[in-house]
């Protein structure tokens, strides 16, 4: 158990209790333990972004499950904080894609600027850092989650600017730190190109326009049935159409009989 300051008891606020009961009601009778993660999240949001031990007991009682089972879940997921964290809780991804793209450098930026490492909080309580495994945004590596937001495609400079802005009370826009739309290819979209970023449109503008197609005479088209009925078709076209549909024509009748699947008659 952590050395976090503890409290005698925990209870959801009336509003959160209502939410908790709605969450529990989503699961079949006897399966209410499935609501353990959303209830932990609810407790954490109510309690300054961390879950005290008393809340683990309270949730265990509500879900009629052993306390140790709640503790197992709470200690497995890094998203559950079991000790107080800073106002800006940094979760720095250190799994392979982020590491290959410079997560180690970002760790150095935190150390240089804030003087903290994994599991530590600045003295003024503004920032805390934990190193976590894949945040599920590898295509935008390296990634740092700040409270609920993902900051992506970071490097030393952009991450340093992000920390400065947060310390100054600003809220920088989440998402990629480079000229990129969400997780589209770094060179711009390869599909839906009509919404390509300016850089791609600039490249496209340098490509010469294709030569115009040579003009050709239109092919003659057989008359459609409606044209025959309305008399708009040429006489020879009408004649040919009547022969094809004449039941007295042996060849045509034979063909039709076979297409219908009826047996041949001797
Ligand atoms: S490896 Fe960092 S988000 Fe997946």
Q: Write the pLDDT tens digit of every residue in 80-122.
A: 999 999 999 999 999 999 999 999 999 999 999 999 999 999 9
Please tell me which residue, 195 or 109, carries the higher pLDDT value. 109
| Residue 231 belongs to some domain of the structure | yes
Same domain for 164 and 238, yes or no, is no
How many whole angstroms from 217 Cα to the centroid of ligand 1? 59
How many whole angstroms from 185 Cα to the centroid of ligand 1? 17
| Residue 171 belongs to some domain of the structure | yes
- 144 C-beta closer than 6 A to ligand 1: no
- 37 C-beta closer than 6 A to ligand 1: no
Mean pLDDT of the 180-197 span = 75
| Residue 216 belongs to some domain of the structure | no
Closest ligand 1 atom to residue 135 Cα is: 3
- 210 pLDDT band (50/70/90 cuts)? confident
| Residue 113 belongs to some domain of the structure | yes
Chosen domain end from 22, 54, 76: 76
| Residue 203 belongs to some domain of the structure | no
Mean pLDDT of the 219-246 span = 45
Contacts of 210 (CB under 8 A, 6+ apart): none
Instruction: Quote the Cα angle for 41-43-47, to 5°.
Output: 115
| Residue 206 belongs to some domain of the structure | no
What pLDDT score does 234 carry?
A: 44
Q: Residue ranges of the alpha helices (H) in 151-231? A: 156-167, 198-205, 225-230
Please tell me which residue, 197 or 263, carries the higher pLDDT value. 197
DSSP secondary structure, 153-194, as one string: S--HHHHHHHHHHHHTT--PPPEESSS--TTS-TT--SSSGG
Q: What is the CATH number of the domain that holds 106?
A: 3.40.30.10
Q: Write the pLDDT tens digit of every residue in 215-228.
A: 666 555 554 545 44
Specify the pTM: 0.70
- Ligand 1 site-directed mutation target among 93, 103, 105, most atoms within 8 Å of CB: 93
- Ligand 1 site-directed mutation target among 134, 151, 159, 176, most atoms within 8 Å of CB: 134
Look at the chain and report how many structural domains it folds into: 3
Q: Which domain holds residue 62?
A: 14-76
- 154 C-beta closer than 6 A to ligand 1: no
Chosen domain end from 141, 157, 176: 176
Same domain for 68 and 105, yes or no, is no
Among 57-71, 176-190, 211-225, 240-254, the range scoring the smallest mean pLDDT is: 240-254
For the chain, the average pLDDT equals 83
- 97 C-beta closer than 6 A to ligand 1: yes
Q: What contacts 24+ positions apart, CB below 8 Å, involve 170-173?
A: none
- Ligand 1 site-directed mutation target among 79, 91, 94, 98, most atoms within 8 Å of CB: 98
Closest ligand 1 atom to residue 103 Cα is: 2
What pLDDT score does 13 carry?
A: 98
User: Scanning the structure block, which residue is given the tokens 């709605």?
Assistant: 22
Q: What is the CATH number of the domain that holds 41?
A: 1.10.10
Q: Write the pLDDT tens digit of every residue in 29-81.
A: 999 999 999 999 999 999 999 999 999 999 999 999 999 999 999 999 999 99
- 56 C-beta closer than 6 A to ligand 1: no
| Residue 51 belongs to some domain of the structure | yes
Chosen domain end from 33, 48, 76: 76
| Residue 26 belongs to some domain of the structure | yes
Same domain for 95 and 136, yes or no, is yes
How many whole angstroms from 177 Cα to the centroid of ligand 1? 16
Same domain for 126 and 61, yes or no, is no
Same domain for 158 and 230, yes or no, is no
């Amino acid at each position: 158990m952590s050395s976090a300051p503890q409290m005698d008891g925990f209870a959801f606020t009336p509003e959160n209790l209502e939410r908790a009961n709605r969450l529990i009601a989503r699961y079949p009778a006897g399966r209410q333990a499935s609501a353990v993660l959303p209830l932990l999240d609810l407790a954490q949001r109510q309690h300054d972004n961390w879950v005290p031990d008393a809340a683990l007991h309270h949730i265990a009682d509500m879900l009629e499950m052993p306390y140790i089972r709640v503790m197992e879940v709470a200690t497995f997921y890094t998203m559950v904080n079991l000790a107080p964290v800073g106002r800006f809780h940094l979760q720095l991804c250190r799994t392979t894609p982020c590491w290959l793209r410079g997560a180690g450098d970002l760790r150095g930026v935190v150390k240089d600027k804030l003087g903290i490492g994994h599991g530590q909080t600045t003295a003024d309580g503004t920032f805390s850092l934990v190193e976590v495994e894949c945040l599920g945004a590898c295509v935008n590596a390296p990634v740092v989650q700040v409270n609920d937001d993902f900051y992506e495609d970071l490097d030393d400079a952009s991450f340093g600017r992000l920390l400065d802005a947060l310390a100054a009370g600003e809220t920088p826009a989440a998402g990629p730190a480079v000229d990129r739309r969400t997780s589209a290819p770094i060179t711009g979209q390869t599909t839906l190109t009509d919404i390509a970023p300016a850089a791609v449109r600039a490249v496209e503008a340098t490509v010469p326009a294709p030569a115009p197609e040579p003009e050709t005479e239109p092919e003659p088209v057989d008359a459609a049935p409606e044209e025959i009925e309305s008399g708009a078709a040429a006489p020879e076209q009408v004649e040919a159409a009547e022969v094809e549909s004449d039941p007295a024509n042996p060849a045509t009748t034979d063909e039709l009989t076979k297409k219908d699947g009826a047996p041949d008659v001797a």
